[in-house]
A and B are shown apart, each in its own frame.
Chain A
Amino acid sequence: MDASALIASLQDAVPGAQFEAASSIDLQTTIYAPRDAVAESARALRDRPELAFTLLAELTAVDFWPTEPRFELVYILVSIVHRARIRVKVRLNADAARVATVSGVWPAANWLEREVWDLYGIVFDGHPDPRRLLMPEDWEGYPLRKDYPVQIRKTPEYSQPLQVTADEFRQNVERDRLTRR
């Protein structure tokens, strides 16, 4: 699928949004989508029969610090019906690193967005479970950002023996379960 057909179809679905084609070395159809239209575009990409990108293969971010716009979100989508693969990118400024979640459109985005939040600190508005995924919950900073130091000297904190009673543990689990809803 070439970029112009894709953009025409998306313009039709999301009037007023500015999509733009991008060049790519690996000849992969790549477009830039505006940040405010991510949710509608995602829905159109999945639901319109001529697009039908039902499989979200990858969702990740790239940090271009110190240039602006600093972040680029990358969605790699596959259409099983049309045997096509595209890349949709979203530019984000450092002071407004937030975007609407697509986990309602592709449920697989849930953990992928959590990973991006965890490692890049990009906020996904409306995410059902906005917690860190890979790093410990009390971790400070976002490790994959380019201004995050590579080597930190930090004395390791050894784990304490578990001090909660069986009841407290059960309550913790219950609270965890409720917050995830």
Chain B
Amino acid sequence: MTVNMGPQHPSTHGVLRLVLELDGETVRSCAPTIGYLHTGIEKTAEQKKWQQVIPLVERMDYLSAQSNSLAFCLSVEKLLGLQIPERVTSIRLLIAELQRINSHLVWLGTHGMEVGAVSVMLYCFRERELLLNINEMLAGFRLFPSYMRVGGLREDLPRGFHAAVTAFLDRFGPKLDEYEDLLTKNEIYLKRTRGVGVVSRDDAVALSLVGPIARSAGVDYDVRKYFPYLGYDTYEFTVPIETAGDVYARYKVRVAEMRESAKICRQALQRISPAGAYAVDDPRITPPPKDRVYTEMEALIQHFLIYSQGFTVPRGEAYVPVEGPRGEQGYYVVSDGTNRPWRVKSRAPSLLACQALERLIVGGLIADVIAVIGSIDVVMGDVDR
């Protein structure tokens, strides 16, 4: 029998379409079809000024918006040759780790709901709300804050930021234990996830699977450890590894990653002073503070120049990957020396995870398809761009 699953299916995390051929309950072949969410962001980015690309890239992988903009900013800053202040680097790292917790919470909630544990979804979204509140505090936006800018951050940290993050971290640890109580030894959950959607170590590398999917199959590839950026080599944390390569292993890796991220957040929070530099001191790139724009002629001219013409970026290309919630994430940017990018290419971990679906699903049961799609954590905005 042939089953057409999606694109309008609540468990495909967007608009993924699978054509499944069944033999009884066993899946004999699976053809993923994508492109329903293709919006041509890479083409649009070529028409925008460098700073204007940031809101665009945040909307690609909409569950980890700030990892996207971080990767883009790092690549452009590499081309510009900027030295980013220490404090900004620590804040970015803290935001990136909070984003990882945020994304994993959405994943845990939706995945739990799909395999029948609806209560997990309610609890996860409760904690995620606190993270969205922190985003709102930072930038006024909850999902797509556009707080990262080329050259630093949009503005300084708001008052009460440290207290809000500390309150979240204090609350989050015990709550994570509660989620684990719901799932880790839950007989139904174990039956639905153990030995399901298995990917071997070699297959994971050959299919370019990265992030939690690869680490659950025994590949210890983590950009934070392999090619440290933002000073990750000065933080103490471990990279959780599992070897089973099934859905349950992916669950365990992601939950352990959330704990590690919380640990990194605490270390970063200690390094961040409540006030200080929030962007590079470069008049070409960083707009002057608003109070100076309103009172000084030079500052007004500078403000006007930055917002009307933008800045030029030296000719060349750069690619600085970061470890996003779904694995290696980066932007290959090419500049022709003008104020607009010549090419912006997003390295999308979800696209390759989606490609691997065929390998993971074929041979399994139709009932496990949902569990497998959930476990690879695809964001269709990142797949189709």
Question: Bound pair: A and B?
Answer: yes
CA distance A58 to B352 in the complex (A): 10
Determine if B317 is an interface residue (Cβ-Cβ < 8 Å): yes
A55 touches B227 (CB 8 A): no
Please report which residues of chain B, range 277-335, place their CB below 8 angstroms from some CB of chain A when the two chains form the complex: 314, 316-321, 328, 330, 332, 334
Query: What residue in chain A is nearest B40 (Cβ atoms)?
Result: A143
**B343 interface hit (Cβ, 8 Å):** yes
Closest chain-B Cβ to A167's Cβ sits at a distance in Å of: 11
Which of B31, B345, B351 contacts A177 (CB under 8 A)?
A: B31
Residue in A56, A107, A134 whose CB lies within 8 Å of B384:
A134
Partner of A78, one of B42, B221, B314, B385: B221
A110 adjacent to B355 (CB under 8 Å): yes
User: Main secondary structure on chain A at its contact with chain B?
Assistant: mixed
Q: Check B29 for interface membership: any CB of A closer than 8 A.
A: yes
Per-position binary interface string of chain A over residues 134-151, scored 1 when its CB falls under 8 Å from any chain B CB and 0 otherwise: 111000000110000010
B320 touching A80 by the CB < 8 A rule?
no
Contact with A along B205-234 (1 / 0, CB 8 A): 111101000000001010000110000000
Contact present for A169 and B2 (CB under 8 Å): yes
* B154 at the binding interface (Cβ < 8 Å): no
Residues of the B chain whose Cβ atoms lie less than 8 Å from the Cβ of A60:
332, 345
Q: A25-B78, A74-B332, A83-B226 are in contact. Are A56 and B38 (CB under 8 A)?
A: no
Q: Are A150 and B31 in contact (CB-based, < 8 A)? A: no
Does A76 touch B at the CB level, under 8 Å? yes
The answer to the question of B342 belonging to the interface, with a C-beta cut-off of 8 Å to chain A, is yes
CA A134 to CA B36, docked complex, whole Å:
8
Q: Is A154 an interface residue (CB 8 A)?
A: no
Instruction: Check A85 for interface membership: any CB of B closer than 8 A.
Output: yes
Chain A residue with Cβ nearest B220: A80
**How far, in Å, is A118 (CB) from chain B's closest CB?**
9
- Contacting pair B355 A57 (CB below 8 A): no
Contact present for A76 and B206 (CB under 8 Å): no
Residue B182 at the chain A interface, CB threshold 8 Å: no
Which residues of A lie under 8 Å from residue B227 when comparing CB positions? 83, 85
Asked if B43 contacts A58 (CB within 8 A), the reply is no
Could you tell me which residues of chain B, from 333 to 385, have a CB within 8 Å of some CB in chain A? 334, 342-343, 345, 347, 351-352, 354-355, 384-385
Interface membership of chain B positions 185-222, coded 1 if the CB is closer than 8 angstroms to chain A and 0 otherwise:
00000000000000000000111101000000001010
- A48 and B79 CA atoms in complex are apart in Å by 32
Q: Are A57 and B316 in contact (CB under 8 A)?
A: no
CB < 8 Å neighbour of A144 from B42, B47, B207, B354: B42
The one of B21, B35, B316 in contact with A25, judged by C-beta atoms closer than 8 angstroms, is B316
Instruction: Give residues of chain A (134-181) contacting chain B, Cβ–Cβ below 8 Å.
Output: 134-136, 143-144, 150, 169-170, 173, 176-177, 180
For the complex formed, measure the closest distance between the CB of A158 and the CB atoms of chain B, giving whole angstroms. 16
Find the B residue at minimum CB distance from A58: B347
The answer to whether residues A56 and B208 also contact, given A76-B319, A173-B19 and a CB cut-off of 8 A, is yes
Expressed in whole angstroms, the minimum distance between the Cβ of B77 and any Cβ of chain A is 10
Interface membership of B115, Cβ < 8 A: no
| Chain A 93-111: CB-based contact to B (< 8 A → 1; otherwise 0) | 0000000000000111011
A80 near B35: Cβ-Cβ < 8 Å: no
Q: CB-CB < 8 A to B314: which residues of A?
A: 25
The answer on a CB contact under 8 Å between B318 and A26 is yes
Of all chain A residues, the one with the shortest Cβ separation from B383 is A134
Whether B35 lies near A133 (C-beta < 8 A) is yes
Picked from B21, B31, B210, B316, the residue with its CB within 8 Å of the CB of A24 is B316
Q: How far is the CA of A165 from the CA of B367 in the complex (A)?
A: 27
Q: CA separation between A173 and B239, bound complex, in Å?
A: 43
A87 contacts chain B at the CB level, 8 A cutoff:
yes
**B:54-108 near A, CB below 8 Å:** 75, 78-79, 81
Task: Give bound CA distance, A78 to B204, whole Å.
Answer: 14
In contact, B34 and A134 (Cβ under 8 angstroms): yes
A62 and B207 contacting across the interface, CB-CB below 8 Å? no
Residues of chain B within 8 A (CB-CB) of A28 are 318-319
- A25, A56, A173, most chain B CB atoms within 10 A: A25
Nearest CB of chain A from residue B148's CB, rounded to whole Å: 18
- Are A108 and B31 in contact, CB atoms less than 8 angstroms apart? no
B19: chain A residues at CB < 8 Å are 173, 176
Docked pose: A63 CA to B354 CA in angstroms: 26
Residues of A within 8 A of B31 (CB): 176-177, 180
Contacts A111-B351, A136-B35, A150-B47 known; A25 to B342 CB distance under 8 Å?
no
What would be 15 A-B contacts, judged by CB atoms less than 8 Å apart?
A25-B81, A26-B320, A28-B319, A54-B205, A54-B206, A56-B208, A58-B347, A62-B334, A80-B205, A107-B206, A134-B34, A134-B38, A135-B38, A150-B43, A170-B2
**B residues within 8 Å of A by Cβ?**
2, 19, 21, 29, 31, 34-35, 38, 40, 42-43, 47, 75, 78-79, 81, 205-208, 210, 219, 221, 226-227, 314, 316-321, 328, 330, 332, 334, 342-343, 345, 347, 351-352, 354-355, 384-385
- Cβ-closest 3 pairs across A and B: A108-B208, A26-B318, A25-B316
